[in-house]
C-alpha cells in the first residue's frame, strides 16, 4: 500500500512539474508575442511624381533632406541634442520621455545606432531656384498652384510615395529597445512629365543672366529645328520654400517675364523687312538718313542724330536706322506689315500646356495704323505694339529655320512607374511664313548686325552669331526719367542655326550694351558644352 501511494505521489509531482514548465513557456511566449504584435509608423513626407528635363534628369525630387528617427534612450537623446535647435530638441525630448518614438527633420546628420537612424529623404524642391517659373510650386496640400505643377497636377498625383519609418512597439505604442528601425517607400516616384528644358542649358542661361545683376529680366533659348524650349529664365527668381518673401517683393518674382508682353523696339525691324521683301521691295531699296523725319507734326529721330546717310536694307538693319524703316514701311504698307506680324505669331497667345500660356501681347489693328505717324511708330516697333520674349524667340527661330514657323514647345512626354518614357508629344505642323529666299537674306542682314553694326558686343570667336539689338521706350517715367527696356534676339551658329536666343532686360542701358554681352555668354557656353 505504501509503495502504491508513493508511486501515485511521484506521478502527480511529475505531472504538476510538467504543467508548470508548460505554463511558464506559454507565459513567456505570450509576453514575446505581446512585444511584436504592434508596430508604430511615422510618415515623413508625401512625394508626387517627378518632373524631368529632356534627358530624363530629375528636376524635382532631385535632392535630399535629412530626417532622424529615434527611440527613447539616453544615447538617442544625446545625439539629438547635438544636432537640433534647442526649441526643437525640447519638443522631441518631451515625446521621447513618454516612451514614444520620433522622426524629426534635421540640418545635420547623426551616426546610426540601434536607437537612432539617419534617413536621407527625397526633397521636392532643393535650395536652388532652378527653373522655378517653369516648374511652379504646390500648396500646403501638395496640389499644383502654378507652372508645370499646376498643368500636370493630375498626372503628378497619380503616383504618390510616402517615405516612412517603422518602430517595434508594445500594445501601448511605446517603442521597444533592441528592435531595428526600418525605413519604407523611401524612393523617388518615377512616373511624371518630361520637359523640353535641358538642365545644362537652363543653368547656363540662369548664370549668364544673374551675372548682370539685373533684378528684372528674362532669357529664352529655343531649339530651331523643333521649337523645344531648352531654357526659360525669369528674374527675379523666387524660393519655393519661402513664398511669403516673394509675395512681399515689389519686383513681382512670381511673374514669369518670359511670358509677359513688353514694348518691342527694333527687334521688330526684321518683320518689317520680311514684309517688304515678300511684297516686292528689293533689298537694295535705299534711303538717305538725315537723323530725323516729321509726319503729321510729329518728329521721329534716329538714334544717330547726325544721320546715317544713304543705306540699303542690310545697312539699315545692321545700324538699326529708324528713319530708313519709316521709309520702308511707307513703301511696304501697313496692311502688309501687320499681316506679316500675324504670320509670325504676334498678337496671339502661345499655349504650351493646359494652364500654361504666354500673354498675347498687342498687335495694332490695321484701322489703328491709319496715319503716317502711326505707321512710323510701328516701323521700328514702338507705339501700341507689345510682344513677349517667347514670341520674339519664335520669330528669330522662324527666320533661322528657313521661313517655316517654329512653334515653341515645353513638354516632350511622360514616364511610367518604372521610369520608362512612354508618350511623346509631337508638334510636326509646319506653316511657311516667308520664302526661303527671304529667310536667307534676313539671316545675312542679321549676321551683319553682329559683324559690322549695333550688335558687335554679341560677337564671338568661338561661334558665329546673328541677331538684332533693341532699346524700346515704354512711355513710363520714374524719378523724372523715362524708362526703357532692352533686347538682343538672334540665333547661332549663324550659317547653320541650332538655337534661337532672346535676352530681355528692364530699366537698362540699351540692347547693344546690356543684352548683347549676355547673349554672347549664353551662345559661347552652349557651343562649348554641347560641342
Query: CA torsion angle for 194, 198, 199, 200 (degrees, to 10)?
Result: 160
State how far the Cα of 160 lies from the Cα of 164, in Å rounded to an integer: 13
pLDDT at 512: 74
pLDDT at 425: 63
Mean pLDDT of 277-286: 97
pLDDT band at 514 (very low <50, low <70, confident <90, very high): confident
Residue 23 has pLDDT above 50, yes or no: no
Cβ within 8 Å of residue 49, ≥6 positions away: 155, 156, 157, 158, 159, 189, 191, 192, 193
Q: What percent of the chain has pLDDT over 90?
A: 75
CB atoms within 10 A of CB 13: 10
Under 8 Å between Cβ of 254 and 266 = no
Domains of the chain are 64-123 (no CATH), 199-529 (3.40.710.10)
Residue closest to 411 by CA, chosen among 398, 431, 426: 426
pLDDT band at 380 (very low <50, low <70, confident <90, very high): very high
Residue 531 has pLDDT above 90, yes or no: no
State how far the Cα of 251 lies from the Cα of 237, in Å rounded to an integer: 10
State how far the Cα of 146 lies from the Cα of 127, in Å rounded to an integer: 19
Residue 12 has pLDDT above 60, yes or no: no
Amino acid at each position: 500500500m505504501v509503495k502504491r501511494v508513493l508511486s501515485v505521489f511521484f506521478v502527480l509531482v511529475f505531472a504538476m512539474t510538467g504543467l508548470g514548465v508548460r505554463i511558464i513557456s506559454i507565459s513567456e511566449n505570450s509576453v514575446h508575442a505581446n512585444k511584436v504584435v504592434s508596430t508604430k509608423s511615422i510618415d515623413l513626407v508625401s512625394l508626387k511624381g517627378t518632373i524631368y528635363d529632356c534627358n530624363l534628369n530629375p528636376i524635382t525630387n532631385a535632392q535630399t533632406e535629412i530626417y532622424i528617427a529615434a527611440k527613447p534612450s539616453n544615447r538617442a537623446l544625446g545625439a539629438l541634442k547635438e544636432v537640433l535647435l534647442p526649441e526643437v530638441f525640447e519638443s522631441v525630448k518631451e515625446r521621447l520621455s513618454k516612451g514614444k518614438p520620433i522622426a524629426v527633420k534635421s540640418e545635420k546628420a547623426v551616426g546610426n545606432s540601434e536607437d537612432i537612424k539617419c534617413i536621407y529623404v527625397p526633397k521636392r524642391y532643393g535650395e536652388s531656384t532652378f527653373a522655378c517659373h517653369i516648374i511652379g510650386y504646390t500648396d500646403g496640400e501638395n496640389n499644383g498652384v502654378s507652372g508645370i505643377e499646376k498643368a500636370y497636377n493630375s498626372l503628378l498625383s497619380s503616383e504618390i510615395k510616402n517615405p516612412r519609418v517603422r518602430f517595434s512597439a508594445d500594445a501601448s505604442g511605446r517603442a521597444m529597445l533592441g528592435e531595428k528601425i526600418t525605413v519604407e517607400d523611401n524612393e523617388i516616384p518615377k512616373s511624371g512629365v518630361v520637359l523640353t528644358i535641358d538642365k545644362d542649358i537652363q543653368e547656363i542661361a540662369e548664370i549668364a543672366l544673374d551675372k548682370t545683376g539685373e533684378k528684372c529680366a528674362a532669357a529664352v533659348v529655343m531649339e530651331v529645328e523643333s521649337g523645344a524650349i531648352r531654357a526659360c529664365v525669369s528674374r527675379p527668381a523666387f524660393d519655393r520654400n519661402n513664398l511669403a518673401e516673394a509675395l512681399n517683393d515689389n519686383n513681382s518674382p512670381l511673374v514669369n517675364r518670359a511670358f509677359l508682353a513688353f514694348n518691342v523696339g527694333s527687334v521688330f525691324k526684321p518683320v518689317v523687312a520680311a514684309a517688304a521683301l515678300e511684297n516686292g521691295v528689293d533689298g537694295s531699296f535705299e534711303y538717305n538718313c538725315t537723323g530725323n523725319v516729321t509726319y503729321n507734326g510729329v518728329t521721329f529721330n534716329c538714334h544717330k542724330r547726325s544721320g546715317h546717310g544713304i543705306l540699303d536694307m542690310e545697312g539699315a538693319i545692321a545700324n538699326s536706322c529708324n528713319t530708313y524703316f519709316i521709309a520702308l514701311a511707307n513703301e511696304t504698307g501697313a496692311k502688309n506689315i501687320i499681316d506679316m506680324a500675324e504670320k509670325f505669331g504676334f498678337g496671339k497667345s502661345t499655349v504650351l500646356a493646359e494652364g500654361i500660356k504666354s500673354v498675347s501681347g498687342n498687335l495694332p489693328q490695321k484701322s489703328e495704323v491709319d496715319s503716317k505717324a502711326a505707321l512710323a511708330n510701328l516701323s521700328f516697333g514702338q507705339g501700341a505694339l507689345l510682344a513677349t520674349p517667347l514670341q520674339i524667340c519664335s520669330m528669330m527661330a522662324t527666320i533661322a529655320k528657313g521661313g517655316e514657323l517654329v512653334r515653341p514647345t515645353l513638354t516632350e512626354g511622360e514616364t511610367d512607374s518604372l521610369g520608362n518614357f512612354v508618350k511623346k508629344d509631337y508638334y510636326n505642323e509646319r506653316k511657311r511664313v516667308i520664302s526661303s529666299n527671304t529667310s536667307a537674306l534676313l539671316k545675312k542682314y542679321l549676321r551683319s548686325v553682329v559683324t559690322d553694326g549695333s550688335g558687335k558686343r554679341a560677337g564671338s570667336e568661338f561661334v558665329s552669331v546673328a541677331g538684332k539689338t533693341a532699346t524700346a521706350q515704354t512711355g513710363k517715367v520714374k524719378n523724372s526719367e523715362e524708362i526703357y527696356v532692352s533686347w538682343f534676339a538672334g540665333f547661332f551658329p549663324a550659317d547653320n542655326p541650332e538655337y534661337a536666343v532672346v535676352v530681355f532686360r528692364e530699366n537698362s542701358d540699351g540692347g547693344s550694351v546690356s543684352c548683347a554681352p549676355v547673349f554672347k555668354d549664353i551662345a559661347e557656353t552652349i557651343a562649348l558644352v554641347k560641342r
